[in-house]
Structure 1
Amino acid sequence: MRVAVIQLAYADGEPLPERRDRAAHLVRQQAGHDLVILPELWGPTGFDYRLWEAAAESVDGPTVAAMAAVAREIGAMVHIGSIIETLPQPGAEGKSLANTSVVVGADGAVAAVYRKIHRFGFAAGEPALLEAGSDLVTVDLPGGHRAALSTCYDLRFPELYRRQLDAGAEVFLVPAAWPMARVEHWCTLGRARAIENQCVLIACNTAGTHGGYQMGGASQVVSAQGVVLAEAGPDEEVLSVDIDVDEVSAWRRDFPVLADRRL
């Protein structure tokens, strides 16, 4: 499976329609890949919460529609990162917005929708504005292997990834807007999730500066053995990686640590 990880950079001054067009162009350039992944909230921004309500859209809104069109054009599955979704109805906490990841298939149809479970902000930011997701979401990749979806701050909660493992995941797909101030946590936690679950991790972060925050970059692809197959720098960059997902089952058979789980 050939994967393109688009570490998109942006700043506050770029209008959303222009950024959407630029992101679509970057995806279009990845023709020949089986899977393309974008970062979390690259449209409404990861940290400028003031923009979220105005930038909110539905799953069939302009961002997903634009990426679905390009997915059909290049014949690849596209993880569009995430949007601020206007929910069909308010959630359990009475909020009408969510941080929602969407995967579209090579035919442009929506293949999976995941609403971020762990909201970052310590009672401000995401917890104050967004409903939490509750569903474990997986999607079948080209070739039939199963991937599990999570987003950014989710990476700090290993119990989620154990549940994904038990749901049959061989690959973790993690878009993020992770800041430079804690980028070492990003790198270490991603590698830990891959190693402890013997899964491939494909983690796509944001670059640039917005809302007063410098973003961390350092997108990475990590094998089930913990080998970093590719890693980005701090600026906009596209990683192109060939991944043999069949090696996951081979590694689990050769080093059967998961069989020794007790709890």
Structure 2
Amino acid sequence: MKISLIQMKMTFEDMEHNFKKAEELIRLAAKENPDTIALPETWSTGFFPKENIKEFCDQNGNRTKRLFSKLSKELNVNIIAGSVINEKQDGIYNTSYIFNKQGECIAEYDKTHLFSYMGEDQYFEKGSGITVFELDGIKCGIVICYDIRFVELVRTLALQEIKILFVVAQWPMLRIHHWQILNEARAIENQIFVACVNSCGRAGETIYGGNSALIDPWGEVILRASNQEEIITGNLDLSIVEKIRDTIHVYKDRRPDLYQY
């Protein structure tokens, strides 16, 4: 699978600008003829408006769905639409939407682990389940930013036999070393590809660190972005997943009978 990661520098709290820019960047990425394009977390607002947060919500993701349904069908590309601040009947969520090449919204995921250090848990509801989906017949999973620190969540997805994990994030420059190590570790321990896309630039007082990457199941970095706005595109040789699993038997040799809390 050929994947393009859009390391977008959004303008904090300017949804009109960010929706327009996201479309421009997706059209630019599509010129590389990728199978899949991915955006970062909360690309439409930055992470995250606290004053009058409801003004920055995409009601039931309707605006996001309209735009990316149109673009994915027109450009014949799968789109991982990062995540947006999404108001549902029971509260506000940090939600990712996934679109196939036919323009269908085939899956959505509400962030399950909320970053209490920045007060995310005070403004958002927690998601209640994992999300697994297929793109071009390839089983994939998705997590959002802080989720990558939780090994149980990624292993649960891996046990659903995913081959690619998409990670959409707003990860700060201050902890970019953690970003690199955590994504590489999740790839190695679960024997999966990781496509992790971060933002860059500033939102409020926080500077975001870029370093989006494509990582293979050996933990080798296929491509890594800088800390500036850019698009990186690379190919994933999915045949190596089974070769690695036939070599190092982490799934056959695991001991779930001992993994009790």
* Residue type of the alignment partner of 2:98: V
Q: Deviations over 1:43-101 (max 9, x none)?
A: 121133326321101344222311221111110100010011111x21xxxxx100000
Q: If the length of structure 2 is used for normalisation, what is the TM-score?
A: 0.93
Greater Cα offset, 196-205 or 166-175: 166-175
Return the letter of the residue paired with 1:188. I
- Number of the residue aligned with 1:241: 234
- 2:98 is aligned, of 103, 127, 146, to 103
Once residues 80 and 123 of structure 2 are traced to their aligned partners in structure 1, the CA distance between those partners, rounded to angstroms, is 24
Whether the aligned pair in 2 keeps the contact of 1:173 and 1:202 (CA below 8 Å) is yes
Q: Which amino acid aligns with 2:192?
A: C
Report if aligned partners of 1:69, 1:108 keep a CA contact under 8 Å in 2. Answer: yes
Please give the TM-score of this superposition, normalised by the length of structure 1.
0.93
Counterparts of 2:80 and 2:70, CA distance in 1: 13
Partner of 1:80: 81
Pairing partner for 1:202 from 176, 179, 195: 195
In structure 2, the residue matched to 1:261 is: 254
Amino acid at match of 1:40: E
The 1-side partners of 2:251 and 2:2 are apart by 27
Find the counterpart in structure 1 of residue 10 from structure 2. 10
**1:24 corresponds to which residue?**
23
User: What CA distance in whole angstroms lies between the structure 1 residues aligned with 2:133 and 2:60?
Assistant: 17
1:190 to partner: Cα distance = 0.4
Cross-structure match for 2:65: 64
1:127 to 118, 121, 128: 121
5+ long unaligned stretches in structure 2: 257-261
Q: For 2:135, which of 136, 141, 150 is the aligned residue?
A: 141
**Identity between Structure 1 and Structure 2 (%):** 31
Distance 1:63 1:169 in 2: 25
Among 193, 214, 219, the alignment partner of 1:221 is 214
> 3-state SS of the aligned residue for 1:118?
coil
Q: Describe the SS at the equivalent of 1:49.
A: coil
User: RMSD in angstroms over aligned alpha carbons?
Assistant: 1.4
Any stretches of 5+ residues in structure 1 without a counterpart?
91-95
User: Aligned to 2:241, what secondary structure does the other structure show?
Assistant: helix
- Tell me, in whole angstroms, the C-alpha distance in 2 between the residues paired with 1:30 and 1:10: 16
* 1:114 alignment counterpart: 109
1:183 and 2:184 are equivalent in the alignment: no
Query: How far is the alpha carbon of 1:241 from its aligned partner?
Result: 0.5
Task: Confirm or deny: 8 A CA contact 1:49 1:125 kept in the other structure.
Answer: no
Residue correspondences, number: 254
Cα contact 2:61–2:84 (8 A) shared by 1: no
AA partner of residue 97 (structure 2): V
Change (3 A) 1:157 1:54: same
Q: Equivalent of 2:149, from 147, 152, 156?
A: 156
Is 2:10–2:45's contact at 8 Å kept on the other side of the alignment? no
Structure 1 match to 2:259: none
Judge conservation of contact 2:201–2:228 (CA < 8 Å) in 1: yes
Q: Using the alignment, how far apart are the partners of 1:40 and 1:242 within structure 2? A: 22
